[in-house]
Amino acid sequence: MKILIASFNLSITEILIIALLVFVVVLLFVTIVLFNAFKITLKAQNNPQPYHKYDAPLPLAYEDWLKQKKSKPNIWTKLLSLKPIEKEEELIIPHAYDGIHELNNPVPTWFNVLFYGSIIFGLGYFYYYHVGEYGPKQDQEYENEMVQAATDKKIFLAKSGEKYDESSVKLDQNLIVSGKQVFNTNCVACHGEKGQGTVGPNLTDEFWLHGGSIASIFKTIKYGVPAKGMVSWEKNLSAKNIAELSNYILSLNGTKPANAKAPQGDVYKEESAVDTIGNGNTTKQ
């Protein structure tokens, strides 16, 4: 009951009002039924009728029974374009095969309505979108939805407490200290205690496998590089944690720890690097 109340977000007062309305409706229904029963009883008392034994009617011939039936077709018969069995002879096609005749049954009304309706709809659609150009086409709708999605994303990031993603993350010295804690908790096993590299590459030199900008590092941590053993941390770390970790990794550059792993990848130079989010060079794993 509590789950049901929570799902509809109703207060106790609102629930009591709804229960009262339901009770009133049920009470009204019972009152009407009792009133009709009282009327029938009162009518029987005021006008008593003698008891008549039920006499079963004589059975009718099939032709007489058909004559008593309503000849006016109902809505269902009209929709299916059904003909009564007594008019079957009117539908017989003259030719026969081995004494078997075909019936020229008409196309159902509902099919004709759908068929011609779809033609009318198609003409209207063509005029509205391709001739008059009153509405956006599918490719335009896609572009509009992508623009709206980008706008919604910015609004979401502005409202959320963590305003970080691969397109907005920036260098921030204030995030380095907390980033070290994130690194020690999650990254030491593969990259070493000081970022010198063990299973994963050395994070302290100027060589990068997937680009060395803050945005590239953020993207690699977030989405990972599964082909090279770098898992995605998107579900394990918050956006702020990834931003902290990215800043801390950049702070390790040039520290030259002991037993550092041999360089891997290419030298990253900020002034000539092409390691943006969309074109391929992201960070060292």
**Do 81 and 41 share a structural domain?**
no
- How many CB atoms neighbour CB 182 within 10 A? 22
Q: Which two tokens stand for residue 154?
A: 């910015």
Q: What percent of the chain has pLDDT over 90?
A: 19
Q: Which of 25-34, 252-261, 274-283 has the lowest mean pLDDT?
A: 274-283
- What separation, in Å, do the N-terminal and C-terminal C-alpha atoms of the chain show? 50
Is 275 inside a domain boundary?
no
- Which residues 6+ apart lie within 8 Å of 251 measured at CB? 176, 179
Is 56 inside a domain boundary?
no
Is 124 inside a domain boundary?
yes
- How many CB atoms neighbour CB 246 within 10 A? 30
Is 64 inside a domain boundary?
no
**Do 241 and 184 share a structural domain?**
yes
pLDDT band for 278, please (50, 70, 90 cuts).
very low
- Could you give the CA distance from residue 93 to residue 105 in angstroms, rounded to a whole number? 10
Is 140 inside a domain boundary?
no
**Do 181 and 236 share a structural domain?**
yes
- Could you give the CA distance from residue 117 to residue 115 in angstroms, rounded to a whole number? 5
**Do 125 and 186 share a structural domain?**
no
Q: Which of 107, 135, 163 is the last residue of a domain?
A: 135
Is 193 inside a domain boundary?
yes
Identify the pLDDT of residue 93. Answer: 85
**Do 77 and 40 share a structural domain?**
no
**Do 183 and 261 share a structural domain?**
yes
Identify the pLDDT of residue 88. Answer: 79
- Could you give the CA distance from residue 249 to residue 217 in angstroms, rounded to a whole number? 8
**Do 195 and 261 share a structural domain?**
yes
Check: pTM over 0.85? Answer yes or no: no
Helix, coil or strand: residue 261: coil
Is 279 inside a domain boundary?
no
Instruction: Note the pLDDT tens digit of each residue in 80-109.
Output: 777 777 777 888 888 888 888 888 888 888
Q: Which of 89, 118, 135 is the last residue of a domain?
A: 135
Give, in degrees to the nearest 5, the angle at Cα 176 between 235 and 276. Answer: 65
Q: State how many domains the chain has.
A: 3
Residue 257, domain CATH: 1.10.760.10
Q: Which two tokens stand for residue 69?
A: 């039936």
What one-character DSSP code corresponds to residue 272? T
Identify the pLDDT of residue 64. Answer: 78
Any idea which residue has 């963590």 for tokens?
162
Please give the residue range of the domain that contains residue 31: 2-46
Identify the pLDDT of residue 12. Answer: 81
- Could you give the CA distance from residue 112 to residue 184 in angstroms, rounded to a whole number? 72
Identify the pLDDT of residue 123. Answer: 95
Instruction: Note the pLDDT tens digit of each residue in 57-68.
Output: 888 887 777 777
Is 280 inside a domain boundary?
no
**Do 100 and 21 share a structural domain?**
no
Q: Which of 105, 120, 135 is the last residue of a domain?
A: 135
Radius of gyration of the chain (CA): 40
Identify the pLDDT of residue 48. Answer: 80
Of 110, 114, 118, the C-alpha closest to 78 is 110
**Do 252 and 205 share a structural domain?**
yes
